[in-house]
Structure 1
């Protein structure tokens, strides 16, 4: 039920210089729920299909449950795969769609018809569609089709469940409901689940761990809290949510931002040189300053006030408490809670509570 890849390489067909998978090494233990996240073209689906045995790879090692997949066909990998478009058979009923993987097994491995029927009934109950076995897919809602696709993937009792952008066609409300149901299903059945998505909110909602991919490489592999507090690169932080960037220079233990009206702050353990601070809009702290930046209110979000701050050539949006200070006379920004980067790598600081300088 575990998945291990080591230096997995896949070259683009017809273009051997382009790596779709660039030395991918990852460990997914038994029972884990892991999300492969990243923008389009990052290599997420390529990796998922390699694990399933649907696509080849050029070099490296892929091990499922301790067995090298060079010895296993796709059928022998004990994997359930849910495609982005569900891939349900329109000419088959829901029940026949679910039983398809069992119906096509070799005769020596195929359960009896009564056993298959019983398995279909169990799965219809599991996906909370007990009375729709005789219905055809085109009569189902998007959320119901998604659950049927999951039931079909589970029919052969796989230990690995692989999902390729499974919620993309659903509206936001249905999507939230289905992914919560999927997480519950994962926990109940003790599956090892790998989800491919470009939606960071979706990944954070259901997965124990996120493997962030970019240009065929793994940029960072960690839990949500680590990714938020200690993103390995600016790309990781920017991919996972709205981000403000403040370039500047470290001199003698003081970070001085380039932008006007942004306060410097002290730190320790960082060599002098250029750097930049990345921070979430709600982490910026403002203080009234008659000589500071012009502030314009622009509505609200999540119970916070949206403020547009004019930094003399750059406008940034921050989120402040709804009943905060009056900034009609201007404001100064304090960014000491940010993450400090140099050459696109997170810098370690000796103090975790950075103190804004006067």
Structure 2
């Protein structure tokens, strides 16, 4: 197992006649041996560029990449011993699964004058590990999407890499295959103990697979923490909005002299922290933290209710509040359109952000 460290890693793209584009801006990140880190963010935030720089597929503008304490920034990709499972599989159509898995090993064996039998043993061992033994002699065209993804993963693992990079590994799978492959991926990574980075825009993948998550935006890390830390204590409005399904309710408000947030003239919410009166803030409440009550609470009107069997989603309007509020309802709840209900939100589970900077005030 090997540690990975990024020090002030930067990537700037320059094109004649155009202003430079800073894709990655001073990334500092350290991975423990055997850790799986989820690099999570929207398209264009710099996560795939970061992965490509680690792999040696993209030149580095500035900073350093260390694997096992040694810098690999100036090494070519073939000398970094980093395995990559690509988003689009990148399999060779004319070759069988066995030949696809062995291709890179044989190229290295010729360069290093290694043992041919060792290649065959490694291929057989990794094929058994990821469940590909039965299709070793099949070509990619005969495989399902899930099998192709396992071949891509196995090809990255068969070289016994110091670091494993997973680039959107489940994006081409349907829902059922994604769930199955996600569980297999986690089991394999845990069993083999590889230090790994998972690049994804899918929060469910990151939350379920990663030991820690780095949420990226515009080339920088907005928050780094465990899945629980990122979800329960978002550092910014962006993180709160990006992580969570259904999405968090974000409501502009002003702090009042009574220690509550004024969403409108009629709607006041208790705050989890004392703040001076008159401050512009954004209040965040997750749908599962809004409770429908039969007694005291804030009056709300049902705009729509979606019964989803395990739970439901109620879209509500509050007096004087422009944006609707979404609440998670208990199984079996029945709400008619335009019905009047009352809701409460536990201040201990309420998030507060500065309206100007978007930074958490908790």
Query: Please, what TM-score do these two structures have when normalized by structure 2?
Result: 0.89
1:9-28 correspondence to structure 2 within 5 Å: 9-14=10-15, 15=18, 17-28=20-31
State the SS of the aligned residue for 2:135: coil
1:1-358 correspondence to structure 2 within 5 Å: 1-14=2-15, 15=18, 17-105=20-108, 107=110, 109-241=112-244, 242-259=247-264, 262-272=267-277, 273-288=279-294, 292-296=299-303, 298-301=305-308, 303-312=310-319, 313-322=322-331, 330-335=340-345, 336=347, 337-342=349-354, 343-348=357-362
Give, in whole Å, the separation in 1 of the partners of 2:126 and 2:137.
14
The number of residue pairs the alignment matches comes to 348
**How has the CA–CA distance of structure 1 residues 267 and 67 changed in structure 2, closer, same or farther, with 3 Å as cutoff?**
closer
Cα offset, 1:5, TM superposition: 1.0
Give, in whole Å, the separation in 2 of the partners of 1:140 and 1:305.
38
Give, in whole Å, the separation in 1 of the partners of 2:289 and 2:113.
58
Cα offset, 1:322, TM superposition: 3.7
Moved more, 141-150 or 117-126: 117-126
Cα offset, 1:302, TM superposition: 5.8
Moved more, 100-109 or 299-308: 299-308
Give, in whole Å, the separation in 2 of the partners of 1:345 and 1:333.
27
Q: Which residue of 2 aligns with 1:355?
A: none
State the SS of the aligned residue for 1:271: coil
Cα offset, 1:2, TM superposition: 1.2
- 1:112-135 Cα deviation digits (max 9, x unpaired): 222212221112111112121111
State the SS of the aligned residue for 1:346: coil
Checking the alignment, whether the CA contact within 8 Å between 2:60 and 2:73 is kept in structure 1 is no
- 1:80-137 Cα deviation digits (max 9, x unpaired): 0111100000011110000011111153524322221222111211111212111101
Moved more, 294-303 or 204-213: 294-303
**How has the CA–CA distance of structure 1 residues 129 and 266 changed in structure 2, closer, same or farther, with 3 Å as cutoff?**
closer
Give, in whole Å, the separation in 2 of the partners of 1:255 and 1:129.
59
Checking the alignment, whether the CA contact within 8 Å between 1:200 and 1:240 is kept in structure 2 is yes
Give, in whole Å, the separation in 1 of the partners of 2:300 and 2:111.
76
Give, in whole Å, the separation in 1 of the partners of 2:265 and 2:293.
14
**How has the CA–CA distance of structure 1 residues 303 and 131 changed in structure 2, closer, same or farther, with 3 Å as cutoff?**
closer
Cα offset, 1:70, TM superposition: 3.4
Moved more, 293-302 or 23-32: 293-302
Residue segments in structure 2 that go unaligned for 5+ positions in a row:
none
Checking the alignment, whether the CA contact within 8 Å between 1:7 and 1:25 is kept in structure 2 is yes
**How has the CA–CA distance of structure 1 residues 302 and 347 changed in structure 2, closer, same or farther, with 3 Å as cutoff?**
farther
Checking the alignment, whether the CA contact within 8 Å between 2:272 and 2:350 is kept in structure 1 is no
Cα offset, 1:304, TM superposition: 2.6
Give, in whole Å, the separation in 1 of the partners of 2:24 and 2:165.
18
State the SS of the aligned residue for 2:151: helix
Cα offset, 1:326, TM superposition: 8.1
